[in-house]
Every structure is written in C-alpha cells, then in structure tokens.
C-alpha cells in the first residue's frame, strides 16, 4: 500500500510558557515605542514557577514600568491563580535590563547613505506564501492557530469550563489525493476536578469540529484530546518559558525555511524581525498577483550595511514567469534596506504584542502592514515589462 502524503504543523496558545515570554517581551517593546518610536529594544524573558525574569538591552527616552507590564500581561492571559503555575498579581518579577551595546549601535547608525541605517546584525531571513488558504498561509499552521485561538476565546468567556491557559494543537493534513484533515491533536490544561468525558466532548464539538467545518472540511479521521488523560500541571510550573523558543509556530509551521532568528522583543532595526516581515510582504504580493502559486523569498544582511547582501526567489516550479524576471520586479518595487523596510511597513509603531501569540503572518484579525497586498498591481506591470524586454 502506498504511503500517504502527510504534513503536520503545531501551534501553542497564549498561555504556553514560551508564549508568555514572547508576549511580555513584545509588550515591553510596544510600551517603549508608544512613547519613543526610535526606541532600541532587545528584550528577553524567562519564566518559571511563579517567577518572571526580564533582561536585555533597551535604549529609549520612554519611561517604562517593566514589572507592571509583565504582571499585566500575565493577568490579561488569565494567569491569576498560583495553581495555574504563575499568578500575575503575586509572582516574583526581576528586571535586569541595561542599555544597548555601543558596538551594535554603531553598526545600526553607520551607513554609506546618511538617510539610511545599517542592519543591526548579520543574518538570513525567509518569507513564504501559498495560495492554499485565503490568507496565503499553509493550511496546517493556519488550522493549528485557529484551534488554540478558539479554545482560548471560549476559555476567557467562561463558556469553556475547567480550561486553563496552557494549550497546544497539532494538525496533520493529508495531500494524497484530495486535501483532507487526517489528524487533530489538542492538549489543554484543565482544573484538577474536571469531568474528563464532558471536557473532551466539548473540545471535539465546540472547538475541533467547529474550526474544521469553518474551513470547509469534514471531521478529521483521527482526533486526540489530552492523550495522556490529565494535564493539570502546566504553564510555567510545568515547563520553563523563554522568549523566541517557538519560531516555527511564529512563522509557517515548517512548510517553509526559517532563518533562525526569533522576532519577539526586538525593535525594527533588528533584521531578524523586519527582514522576515519584508520577505513575507514580498512573497505574499507575488502570490496575490498570481505570479506564482507558492513563493519563498530569502534575504541576507551584514551588520552596518544597508543593502541586502542577497535576494533569492524560489517558486517551486509554480511561477508564471522566470524567477529572474520576478527578482528584477522585486528590486524595482521593494526597498529592502532596513530604513526602506521600516518606512514601507510602518514598523515604528506599537503593534507587536498581538503578534506574539497565534502567528506573525496570515493574521486577518489584525491590520498588519506586511500582510497587505498593496504591491500586486505594480508587480504585475513590472513583470509584463520584464517579459517584453
């Protein structure tokens, strides 16, 4: 019997320990940008049982109460009881923050073009888009995000009884013949005195079946809900959390490559973040313009240098024109210097905490500049001119 063609992606909810850290990091960034749009922020968070440590480098004119930002983020997520692993009202919060390295600052501030800035570090970044979903995201990661997000909304409303903030999902898509959902796995933290049968029935009917139906699919072939039977000990008590430890969840669920750099807690001069957003912006506009069914963009940078070292395009054989023509159109229509990206994508505004859970891409619930398809017409015209040459 022939093997099935399967692909799996996972997501985690806002109450997952690593996502707690990401959200605190980006909440600090947003607070700095709200007062000083030119803040330089590299904020890292570690969390464990009833404790949060915030460290890193911040250079800003803003006045920040980082301890209160951390506490409020925990409370907003729903961590208001020590039984959940951490309580935002009473937990220990340690702040270990200093100013940015002068060597790094020199690399950002110095450029051959006085109107530009240099990249804050070397590195490679990837962006991806596919026509598989309306948001031009891979199906598996889109479904995985939708599942934990719906569960979190129901938890916060009080409708989802016994649920606690820590949750994970995993979706396996079967591409063997026609696209269908093979397996859905959900692990959801719950109260000690829960009714297991009622809990699992609720998850299946109101979360899994509802989300899968919304996307036009029938009930998955296999559903696994808390397969170990119990998930009481969770949150930072069950596992320590760190900023930047869920980078595949943040991007494309493994359907595309990742440069390796995390996003959260970094201001827009860090190309780990801004370069990845720009690469997604380029790839999404190419697919939205119907110039390819799938597109992956790679950008690379050197510290202190404005222009990208390289730009690479891969359409996986789905491109409607030669990739060299697409590359020329990209160079004509996208300023991929750090300053150009910051201006093009309006990155000096506070908007990052909301991206720190449920993905940075494909977010139809947020008006994120890198998710807009404002370059479609320009790309189509540039490609036509390039083909005619």
The H-or-E segment that residue 33 falls in is helix 17-35
Name the catalytic one among 155, 270, 273, 353.
270
**pLDDT for residue 385:** 87
Q: What is the pLDDT of residues 200-255, one digit of tens each?
A: 999 999 999 999 999 999 999 999 999 988 898 989 998 999 999 999 999 999 99
Task: Specify whether 57 is catalytic.
Answer: yes
Name the catalytic one among 246, 273, 353, 360.
246
- Residue 354 scores a pLDDT above 50: yes
**pLDDT for residue 113:** 44
pLDDT band at 119 (very low <50, low <70, confident <90, very high): confident
Of 233, 258, 228, the closest CA to residue 246 belongs to 258
Classified as helix, coil or strand, 173 is strand
CA distances to 69, 124, 178, 288, 314 from 5, rounded to whole Å, are 45, 30, 10, 26, 22
Task: Tell me which residue has tokens 């119990």.
Answer: 230
Task: Specify whether 98 is catalytic.
Answer: no
Of 149, 147, 148, 165, the closest CA to residue 234 belongs to 165
Taking a C-beta distance cutoff of 8 angstroms, is the pair 348, 37 a contact? yes
The H-or-E segment that residue 295 falls in is strand 294-301
Q: What is the pLDDT of residues 145-180, one digit of tens each?
A: 999 999 999 999 999 999 999 999 999 999 999 999
DSSP state of 91: S
Handedness of CA 327, 328, 329, 332 (dihedral sign): positive
Name the catalytic one among 67, 174, 239, 335.
239
Task: Specify whether 193 is catalytic.
Answer: no
DSSP state of 370: G
Task: Specify whether 320 is catalytic.
Answer: no
Distance of CA 321 to the CA centre of its chain: 30
Task: Specify whether 7 is catalytic.
Answer: no
**pLDDT for residue 109:** 56
**pLDDT for residue 387:** 75
The whole-number average pLDDT for the span 359-373 is 97
CA distances to 91, 285, 321, 351, 361 from 356, rounded to whole Å, are 22, 23, 36, 10, 11
Taking a C-beta distance cutoff of 8 angstroms, is the pair 234, 189 a contact? yes
Task: Specify whether 16 is catalytic.
Answer: yes
**pLDDT for residue 382:** 95
Name the catalytic one among 126, 160, 199, 231.
231
Task: Specify whether 178 is catalytic.
Answer: no
Q: What is the pLDDT of residues 7-61, one digit of tens each?
A: 999 999 999 999 999 999 999 999 999 999 999 999 999 999 999 999 999 999 9
**pLDDT for residue 114:** 38
Q: Between 328 and 110, name the one with better pLDDT.
A: 328
Of 240, 243, 319, 184, the closest CA to residue 55 belongs to 243
Q: What CA–CA distance (Å, rounded) separates 378 from 385? A: 11
In this structure, what are the phi and psi dihedrals at residue 263, rounded to the nearest 5 degrees? -105, -50
Percent of the chain with pLDDT over 70: 95
Classified as helix, coil or strand, 375 is coil
Name the catalytic one among 116, 240, 302, 378.
240
Name the catalytic one among 14, 22, 44, 371.
44
**pLDDT for residue 112:** 39
pLDDT band at 120 (very low <50, low <70, confident <90, very high): confident
Taking a C-beta distance cutoff of 8 angstroms, is the pair 286, 136 a contact? no
Task: Specify whether 145 is catalytic.
Answer: no
Q: How far apart are the first and last CA of the chain?
A: 50
**pLDDT for residue 284:** 98
Of 38, 52, 54, the closest CA to residue 264 belongs to 54
CB-count burial class (<10 Å; 0-12, 13-18, 19+) for 115? exposed
**pLDDT for residue 111:** 43
Percent of the chain with pLDDT over 90: 87
Q: What is the pLDDT of residues 71-84, one digit of tens each?
A: 999 999 999 998 89
Q: What is the pLDDT of residues 93-117, one digit of tens each?
A: 999 998 754 444 445 554 434 356 8
Taking a C-beta distance cutoff of 8 angstroms, is the pair 382, 329 a contact? yes
Q: How many CA atoms lie within 13 A of 70 on its CB side?
A: 27
**pLDDT for residue 304:** 86
Name the catalytic one among 168, 284, 360, 375.
168
Q: What is the pLDDT of residues 246-304, one digit of tens each?
A: 999 999 999 999 998 999 999 999 999 999 999 999 999 999 999 999 999 999 999 88
**Phi/psi-derived region of residue 324, left when phi > 0, alpha when psi is between -120 and 50, beta in every other case:** alpha
Task: Specify whether 18 is catalytic.
Answer: yes
Name the catalytic one among 16, 150, 280, 294.
16
CB-count burial class (<10 Å; 0-12, 13-18, 19+) for 324? exposed
Task: Specify whether 198 is catalytic.
Answer: no
Q: Would you say the pTM of this structure is higher than 0.85?
A: yes
**pLDDT for residue 16:** 97
Q: What is the DSSP string of 181-246?
A: EEEEEEEEEE-TT--HHHHHHHIIIIIIHHHHHHTT----SEEEESTTS---S-HHHHS-EETT--
In this structure, what are the phi and psi dihedrals at residue 130, rounded to the nearest 5 degrees? -145, 150
């Amino acid at each position: 019997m022939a093997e099935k063609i399967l692909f799996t992606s996972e997501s985690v909810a806002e109450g997952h320990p690593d996502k707690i850290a990401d959200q605190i990091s980006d909440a600090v960034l947003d607070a700095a940008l709200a007062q000083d749009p030119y803040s330089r922020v590299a904020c890292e968070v570690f969390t464990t049982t009833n404790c949060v440590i915030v460290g890193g480098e911040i250079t800003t004119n803003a006045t920040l109460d980082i301890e209160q930002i951390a506490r409020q983020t925990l409370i907003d997520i729903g961590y208001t009881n020590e039984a959940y692993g951490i309580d935002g009202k009473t937990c220990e919060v340690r702040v270990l923050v200093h100013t940015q390295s002068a060597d790094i600052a020199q690399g950002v501030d110095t450029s051959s073009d006085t109107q530009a800035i240099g990249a804050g570090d070397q590195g490679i970044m990837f962006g991806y888009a596919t026509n598989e979903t309306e948001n031009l995201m891979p199906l598996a990661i889109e479904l995985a995000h939708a599942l934990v997000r719906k569960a979190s909304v129901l938890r916060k409303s009080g409708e989802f009884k016994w649920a606690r903030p820590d949750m994970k999902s995993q979706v396996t898509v079967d591409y063997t013949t026609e696209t269908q959902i093979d397996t859905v796995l959900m692990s959801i933290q719950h109260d000690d005195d829960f009714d297991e049968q009622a809990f699992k029935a609720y998850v299946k009917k109101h979360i899994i079946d509802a989300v899968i139906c919304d996307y036009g699919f029938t009930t998955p072939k296999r559903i696994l809900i808390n397969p170990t039977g119990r998930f009481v000990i969770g949150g930072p008590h069950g596992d320590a959390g760190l900023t930047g430890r869920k980078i595949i969840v943040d991007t494309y669920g493994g359907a595309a490559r990742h440069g390796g750099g995390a996003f959260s807690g970094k201001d827009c001069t860090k190309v780990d973040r801004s370069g990845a957003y720009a690469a997604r912006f380029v790839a999404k506009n190419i697919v939205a313009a119907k110039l390819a069914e799938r597109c992956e963009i790679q950008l690379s940078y050197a510290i202190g240098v404005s222009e990208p070292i390289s730009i690479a395009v891969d359409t996986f054989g789905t491109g409607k024109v030669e990739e060299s023509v697409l590359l020329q159109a990209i160079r004509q229509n996208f300023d991929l210097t750090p300053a150009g990206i910051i201006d093009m994508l309006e990155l000096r505004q506070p908007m990052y905490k909301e991206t720190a859970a449920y993905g940075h891409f494909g977010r139809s619930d947020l008006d994120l500049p890198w998710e807009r398809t404002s370059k479609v017409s320009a790309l189509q015209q540039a490609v036509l001119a390039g083909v005619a040459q």
